[in-house]
Structure 1
Amino acid sequence: MNMFTRRGALTALAVTAATTASLAPLASAQAQAFPSKPITLIVPWPAGGSTDRHLRGLAEIASRHLGQPIVVENKPGGGGTLGPGTMALNARPDGYTIAQYPLGMLRIPHMQKTAWHPLNDFSFIIGVTGYTFGFVVKADSPYKSFNDYIAAARQQPGKIDYGSTGQGTSPHLLMEELADAAKVELNHVPYKGNADLMQAVLGGHVMAGSDATGWDKLVDAGQMRVLLTFGEQRTQRWPNVPTAKDLGYNVVSTSPYGLVGPKGMDPAVVRSLHDAFKKAMDDPKHLELLGQLNQAPWYKSPEDYRAWAQATFAKDRALIERLGLAAK
């Protein structure tokens, strides 16, 4: 290397170092200024369902701590994966677009090819809560108990149906697990979300519905009857309703969920969002809302949330394969 080449290389290195040094404070300043405009929270279910009700309430409280509005955008489809999947592919990792991350995100990729990776394409922000799942029928349904429903399925294989919030969602897989344990064949009808499913049950388009507690007001109003829940224990709100375990089926799930952003987010921005939503989680109004939905807090830090997702992604592969739903 001659003198001029060496001098040029040294100059380039100096410029690169100076540029890197100047950009670091800029990135830090941007993180400190976050947020300077409204934040979009993608809810991958139709408006009016239990998840929408929960996240709108949580976002309203968190917005006070952030000092900027949080605008909820409903983007249903794909069993709850369309919204966060689209965000991962298209949104900038600046913290201004975040999404709910339902458990289906860790299951659908085992069942079909996706354009996104459930771990590599996301920044994990905070784990929030899990659902209480239940199985409901219309109030005038001939099925007075879950055993009645299963008995009908034994008499008419493949002719007794139920709806869920989508292929590969927890309400779907819980019923597939239960049908497998009961040795019956059920006809599954997927919907985009709770609101669509509940209308289908009320309209008599489907015999029953498997979902989280978006059916609570309909049950309390006497329009529907809940036959079964899927928790470890009976709910405080409906203590007379048996769990799947009570009936001899070892099928339990709360399907935890939280919030994520696109991959590559500034850790300082992740921390700002985490801190605001953690304060919102602990707010008495949020805890009251969780009580109404019969959901329990499920706090996870960004690091713990990612570790949980990694472990669950590996574990749920076995469940998908056992149920015969794995991609060929």
Structure 2
Amino acid sequence: MGFEGTRLGRRDALALGGMALGGAALAAPALGQGTSGQGRFPDRPIRLIIPWPPGGSADAQLRSLAEIAGRALGQSVVVENRPGASGTMGAMHLTTQARPDGYTISQMHLSIVRRPFITRTPPWDPVNDFTHIIGLCGWMFGIAVKADGPIKTWADYLAYARANPGRLTYTTSGIATTNHLTMEELASREKLELVHVPYRASNEAAVAVASGEVMSVADSSAWAPLVDGGQLRLICVWTAERSPRFPEAPTLKELGYDMVVTSPYGLAGPRGMDPGVVRVLHDACKAALFDPANATVRAQFDMPLEYYDTEDYRSFIARRAEYEKTMAQRLKLRID
């Protein structure tokens, strides 16, 4: 997916105010010594940093994964929420404080891969400054509006934006996130002037729309309960096919845009982790990912499965980093 015509900061000075605001039959992993001869791993609880507030889709999926993986590992996987900075607080901790012993891991998502290429001082190398462990799943993104508002369809959305330049607001979980760039791409293609109002997390963004603070939310499916409850109306989804849960909402492809946006994410640790420890973590997390309980959580939020083993996930991150670098250079993307 390209982001032709994207210009960060075009309206984000105003927007910054919002920022203040498989199966059970899989075998259990073998536990043992790392290849460097360290002791049995794990022999104490593992910390999993989730860089979002509680309540969103990634938080729910990763909490479920942590609980299931902990049983297989014989040690608790303790979740720690660290929201802020467009979901990059976990990456900051991995690259500045965490030891590469396997006892601190964090969610790895595309905003972390993108960030070095849109800042003047890159905070990390997304390929080499982390140990990439496993690819897990993606998000179902979509655009939702207040159910009793004037906008009922995507055509209404476009018509309102054209008739009211600079007045149609939308919220996301942060500046330079995948969903923000997608909205900038749509606005560019349609020659719309939209106002971006980022919040710290998807669930906060959805609530802001339901309460009338913002006109629309373009984010992952944290809006789903409010759509089910009748407070929000879903006007499109960004997956390849329509969601079985929300069959009335068309895809971007059906609306005429050759775009599928799922933003796959996984888990990573600090640079230099022992391969044997990585293998133990991968195997436990893979078993948890394909466990029926985690599949139920993913289904609840319509999250597409995007499993990669350790080698393939490292390759995926490397390819994606090249893509993000190319796009940032071509579009002159900057957030500082």
CA distance in 2, matches of 1:149, 1:179: 11
- Using a 3 Å threshold, how does the CA distance of structure 1 residues 46 and 104 change in structure 2: closer, same or farther? same
Q: Which residue of 2 aligns with 1:54?
A: 61
2:50 to 32, 35, 43: 43
1:219 aligned residue = 227
Q: Is the 8 A contact 2:240 2:260 kept in 1?
A: yes
Q: Which runs of 5+ in 2 are unaligned?
A: 1-32
Match in the other structure for 1:71: 78
Query: Which is helix-richer, 1 or 2?
Result: 1
1:320 to partner: Cα distance: 3.5
Identity across matched positions, percent: 47
Query: What is the alpha-carbon root mean square deviation over aligned residues?
Result: 1.7
- 1:127–1:300 Cα contact (<8 Å) kept: yes
CA distance in 2, matches of 1:102, 1:40: 18
Alignment of 1:1-328 (within 5 A): 28-31=36-39, 33-112=40-119, 113-321=121-329, 323-326=331-334
Instruction: Answer 1 or 2: higher relative contact order, Cα 8 Å, separation at least 6.
Output: 2
**How many pairs does the alignment contain?**
303
Change (3 A) 1:28 1:325: closer
Q: CA deviation at 1:159?
A: 2.0
TM-score between the two structures when normalised by the length of structure 1: 0.88
* Per-residue Cα deviation, 1:200-253 (whole angstroms, up to 9, x for no partner): 112211111011111111111111111110111111111111111111122221
Distance 1:180 1:323 in 2: 12
Offset, 1:27: 6.6
C-alpha deviation, 1:199, in angstroms = 2.3
Deviation string, structure 1 residues 234-283 (Cα, Å, up to 9, x no partner)? 11111111111111122221100000000000000000100100111111
Query: Shift of residue 106 of structure 1?
Result: 1.5
Larger radius of gyration: 1
Using structure 2 for the length normalisation, give the TM-score: 0.86
Distance verdict in 2 for CA 1:206–1:26, change over 3 Å: closer
Question: Aligned letter for 1:150?
Answer: L
Amino acid at match of 1:165: S
Q: 1:138 Cα deviation (Å)?
A: 1.5
Distance in 1 between residues matched to 2:216 and 2:97, nearest whole Å: 37
Question: Measured at CA, do residues 137 and 111 of structure 1 come closer, stay the same or move farther in structure 2, by a change above 3 Å?
Answer: same
